Structure 1
C-alpha cells in the first residue's frame, strides 16, 4: 500500500475530500468512499480545531430519530408480509435435545463531559462534527490524554455490577481498519481491565425464562474502558456520512461468562444491566436512545454433550438495539445452528447481523480472533491507578440499587413488581423520580403521615405509569427531566389526585384535567381554578337516589338475581361478581352523569340485593 500524503489525509478527515487514487478505491470500485458532513463554525466548540457541519436532510433526520415503537410496528408488518409464522417467545425458550449457551457483551456510553482521550466535549444530539479534537481523527503528531473524570461513572457502574476494582489497569490497541476508526485501531483494556469478577442476580420478576426458576446468577468476566467509533449514516447510492462527534466517546464494555441458556433470560440480563447503570447515573441513556448496545455470542450443543464441558462453535450477533431484538436474534440464530448441525453441516465461527423485521440472522464477515486484532499495549498511555479511597467513597455514595428499591416499592407502597419495574425503567429512571415527587406533594395535600393507609400511593403509581402514558404515543414526548418533572408538573398531578382521592371530582373529570394540563390549557397551579370555573366539583346523589336507581335496574333481571340466590344457598361456589358489575353499569348509565360514584353504586346495590331482593325471592 502506498503512503497517503499528510495533506491528502487532512482533507479526507476534516472536509471529506478523497482522492480517487490509491487504496481507498482499490478494494472495491463499486462502493463509494464515505463522505463527511462538512462543518460550520460553532462558538461552543471545545477545541478550536473541531470540525463543523451542515444540516442533515429531512429524510436522514427522520430515519435517525425513528422511534422504537415505530420500528417494532414495521417489524411486525414485515413479518406478516413475509408469510412466516413466528412462535411466541414464551413457548420458544428451549429445543428438545439441545442446549443453548449465550455470552453477552454490552457497550454503554459513560455519562461524562469529556471524551476518553481528548478534551473535546461528549455529544449526543449536537450538530455532526462539531466536537472533534485532533487526536479524535488521528491527525499525525496528536497524542492521547486520558481524562481522569471518566473513571467516576465507570467505577460506579462496576460497583453496581458487584465487580472487584483493579488497583492498576492498562490500555491496549485493538487493530482493525474501517472508515469509522480513523487511527486504524481502537484503544481498549483487553489484557488488564479496571474491573473483574462481577455478578448480576436475576429474579423471576426481572422476566427470566420460567425454566430458570426463581433466581439465576450471571457472572461478569470483566468490565473494560474503551473508545467509541464514528457514527455512520447510510445515504442513497452507496454513500456514507461520518459524524466524528462520537469518536473517542468513553464506553465501558461489560463481558459475561457464557452462562445464559434461555433467550428470555438474556434479554432480562440486558434490561437489568441498563437499570443498574441508570440507577448509579453511569450511562447517558438506554438501548432505545442508542446509549447502550449489546453483542451476543451464541452456540448450541447436543444434550448428551452437556456434561463434557465442550461448547459448540459460537457466532457473534452485533449491535442489538432493543431487549426484544436480543431475544429474537438469539432464538433465530439458535434455530439456524441446530438446523445446520441436524443436516450434517458444521457451524462456522463468524460475525452475523440482525435487522428489525427479519426472521433470520445474516452473515457479515468471518469471526476475528485475538491474532487478527493484533492486540498490543498502547505505548502512548501509562497505567491507570485507582485508589482505594476513591473506590470506598463511590461505593458509599451510590444510594439504593434497583432490587432494594423495588422491594421498598412493593412492601411499603403496595405496588406490584411489574409496575415497580416499569416506573424504574421508563425515561431512563426519571419516571420513578416523578412518582416520588407526586407522592410527596400528594401526602402533603392529604395531610398523611408515615405509616398511614397507602391507597394514595397506588393511585399515584397508576396515574404516573398508565394515565400519563396515555397522553403521548412516545414517552419522550412528555419531556421528562432527570429530576422528575415533565409537561404535567408533579404538583398539578398531585392536585388532581388529591381532589380525586377525597372524592371531590370524578375519575372522568380528573382525566379531562390531566389532558388540560398536558396541552397547556390549564396553567401551572391552576387545577382548582379550572374545576371551579367549569363547575366540575362532584355533587353526589343521595343514598335514596342510589336505591331508586338500583330498584329500577333490577326490574326484569330475575335470572341475574337468581345467580345471587344460588350462591347464598350454597349451590354456586363463586360469588357472581360479574353479574353485580353488570347491574352497577346499568345504574351508572341510568343515573345523572358526573354525579355518581361507582363504588357507592356497588355498595348500595350489594346491600339491597342481600337485604331486599333475595329475601323477596326466597319468600315468593
Structure 2
C-alpha cells in the first residue's frame, strides 16, 4: 500500500476529506461534537491552506473599550461596585488563594516536534504530524526548550531537579487532538522556589512592607490549539499553538488578599521577561493564570482550609483581583446561608460581578495521570544550571532600585518601564537618556530649565509614547530598545525642550512628525529651524501686563487669595490659580508663552495685590 502524504492525512482528520482516487467515494463532512455548555455546530480548520480561503474573525474591541463599556452598563443598572482597595478583607473570614500560571516559553521550536512556534503566520501553517496526533507519530523532546525553562525557574528561586519525567494528563477536548496533554505532574524539573513581593509591587496594605510566597513546583508541558469563537456557535481551530512549550508555575496557598494575588502575577511576568524566558505577557495571551480560592471563618483556629474552587484562564491582572473578590464573596454568602461549597471549576468574564460554574472539579483520578511511555527522563547537567544562573543579568528588583534611587523615578513609573514591551521599553529609556546626556555634556543646571533629564525622559517614554499607541499602530519596539521613533530623535526633542528652546506643544508635534516619518532620521533640529519653531519667550514686562489685564476682570477670585493671605481660609486656591494661568495663556500669543512663567508671574502679582511682601503657598 502506498504511503499517504501527511497533508492528505491532515485533510482527512481535520476536515473529513477523502481522496477521490481509490475504492471509496469522496464524502466531505465537518467535525462536530457536543459539549457540556452547548452543541458545537462546526469545527473548521485547514492544514497549510492559503489565508484567502479562511474567513477572517470579526474585529474585537480593544481591552480599554471593553472595560469602559462594562463600566457604563454597571452604572446604568444602578449597581455601585466597591473599590478594590477597600475590599481586600471581609470581617470574620479568611481568604486563601493559590495560583497556577501558564507561560509560553521563548523558543523557536515546539516541545515535542521541530515545527516552528510562530504566532503571526497563517493558521495551521506550522503543524507537525505529532501535533495532530496522527497515528504512528512519536514525540521527540527538543532540548533547546529547556534553556528558557531553567532560566525562568532560577528567576523564581527554585531548586533545579537533576532528573525529571513527563506524564500524560488525559482529557478530551477539541483543542487537544491526542486526548491527553504531556506535562510533568509527578517529577517536575524545578521545585521549592519563592517570590518576594514588596509594597511597591502593589500588594494589599494588610500585607505590610512585604511578603514571601512559596513556589511549589515549575513543570514543563505542551500548549493546546487556539480556539476562536465565531457567530452561530462556530469554533475555529488553529493548531499552530498545539505543542508550544509552556511552563506551569504552581504557588503554595499562601496569599490572603486579592491585590497581592494580582501583584504576584504581575511580578512573575516581570521576572520571566527579565531572563528572556517568556514570549509575551498577559496582554497578548502569552501568560494565563488560574486561581484557586477558598474561605474559612477566623473564629475557629483548628479549622482547615475551606473547599476550594478554581477560576480558569484569567487574562489580565485586573481580572485576577476582580475574580478573586467575586468568588470570595460568593462563597461567604453560600456558607452564611447554611450551604456547602462544591469543588468545581468556574469561569470569569471581563467586567463581570460574579463567577459562573463551568464544570465539576476534576481530580487526579479523572485525569488518569500516567508516565508517558514514549519519552525518557530529562537529565539536566548541574554545569548548565550554574552557567545559566551566572549569566541571568540584573534582577528586576535591583533594576527598580536603580531607577528609583539613581534616576529619581517613582516606583510606579519604574515598574511600568520594566513591564512594557517585554522589557524593551526600559532599554529604550536608557538609550534616550544616554543620547540626551551626550547632548547636554557638562551643561550646568542653571542653563537647563525644567525636570531632571531622567524624569523627563521617563515621562515621555511612558506617557507621550503611550498616547501614540492609543490612536495608531504599534511602536515596533525591538529588544535592543529602538522603535519607529529612534531614541536619538526623541533625545533631540527633549534636549531643545529642556533648554526652553521649544515649547511642550511643539515638542509633541515634532514627536508625531517623527512617528509619521515626516522628519528624516536625525533631522529634528533642522525641522525646527526650517519651520521657525524656536521659542521666543515674552519678556517679564509683557508677562506682567497680561497678568494685570486678566486680574482686573477677576476680582472675586483675587478676593479668595486675599482671604487665604489673611488667614481666613486654610486651603490655598490652587485650582483658581490654574484657571487664571489658562486665561492668561489664551489672552496672549501661546507660541511665545511658558505656563510655568505665567504661573510665577501671576503668583508675584497676586502677592502684591493681597499682602505686599508676603509669599503665598503652592
Q: Which moved more, 1:544-553 or 1:215-224?
A: 544-553
Out of 319, 338, 347, the position equivalent to 2:341 is 347
Tell me how far apart the structure 1 counterparts of residues 155 and 248 of structure 2 sit (CA, whole Å): 14
Tell me how far apart the structure 1 counterparts of residues 179 and 494 of structure 2 sit (CA, whole Å): 58
Tell me how far apart the structure 2 counterparts of residues 317 and 476 of structure 1 sit (CA, whole Å): 33
8 Å Cα contact 1:427-1:475 kept in structure 2? no
Q: 1:184 to 1:82 in 2, by over 3 A?
A: farther
**CA shift for structure 1 position 93:** 1.4
TM-score normalised by structure 1 residue count: 0.88
Q: 1:226 to 1:33 in 2, by over 3 A?
A: farther
Q: Deviations over 1:346-379 (max 9, x none)?
A: 1111111111232221111111111111111111
Match of 1:463 in 2: 460
Tell me how far apart the structure 2 counterparts of residues 474 and 209 of structure 1 sit (CA, whole Å): 34
Match of 2:417 in 1: 423
Tell me how far apart the structure 1 counterparts of residues 440 and 36 of structure 2 sit (CA, whole Å): 71
Tell me how far apart the structure 2 counterparts of residues 617 and 218 of structure 1 sit (CA, whole Å): 55
Is residue 2:319 matched to residue 1:325?
yes
- Unmatched segments (≥5 aa) in structure 1: 1-5, 42-51
Match of 1:113 in 2: 108
8 Å Cα contact 1:487-1:518 kept in structure 2? yes
Q: 1:249 to 1:61 in 2, by over 3 A?
A: farther
SS in 1 for 2:81: coil
Match of 2:263 in 1: 268
**CA shift for structure 1 position 84:** 3.5
Q: Deviations over 1:494-537 (max 9, x none)?
A: 11111100111111111121122222322322222221222110
Is residue 2:521 matched to residue 1:524?
yes
8 Å Cα contact 1:39-1:53 kept in structure 2? no
TM-score normalised by structure 2 residue count: 0.89
**CA shift for structure 1 position 489:** 2.1
**CA shift for structure 1 position 332:** 1.3
Match of 1:367 in 2: 361
8 Å Cα contact 1:78-1:357 kept in structure 2? no
Tell me how far apart the structure 2 counterparts of residues 518 and 26 of structure 1 sit (CA, whole Å): 50
**CA shift for structure 1 position 57:** 2.2
Q: 1:80 to 1:555 in 2, by over 3 A?
A: closer
Out of 384, 399, 406, the position equivalent to 1:412 is 406
Is residue 2:31 matched to residue 1:37?
no
**CA shift for structure 1 position 579:** 5.4
SS in 2 for 1:308: coil
Tell me how far apart the structure 2 counterparts of residues 613 and 243 of structure 1 sit (CA, whole Å): 72
Match of 1:13 in 2: 13
Q: Deviations over 1:50-78 (max 9, x none)?
A: xx7655423x1524xx4322332343344
Q: Deviations over 1:191-247 (max 9, x none)?
A: 111111111111111111122122111111000000011112223343322211111
Tell me how far apart the structure 1 counterparts of residues 69 and 549 of structure 2 sit (CA, whole Å): 51
Tell me how far apart the structure 2 counterparts of residues 506 and 483 of structure 1 sit (CA, whole Å): 30
Give the 5 Å matches for 1:260-409: 260-305=255-300, 307-308=301-302, 310-409=304-403
**CA shift for structure 1 position 581:** 4.5
**CA shift for structure 1 position 540:** 1.5
SS in 2 for 1:424: helix
User: How many equivalent residue pairs?
Assistant: 598
Q: Deviations over 1:298-345 (max 9, x none)?
A: 11111123x225011111111111111111111111111111111111
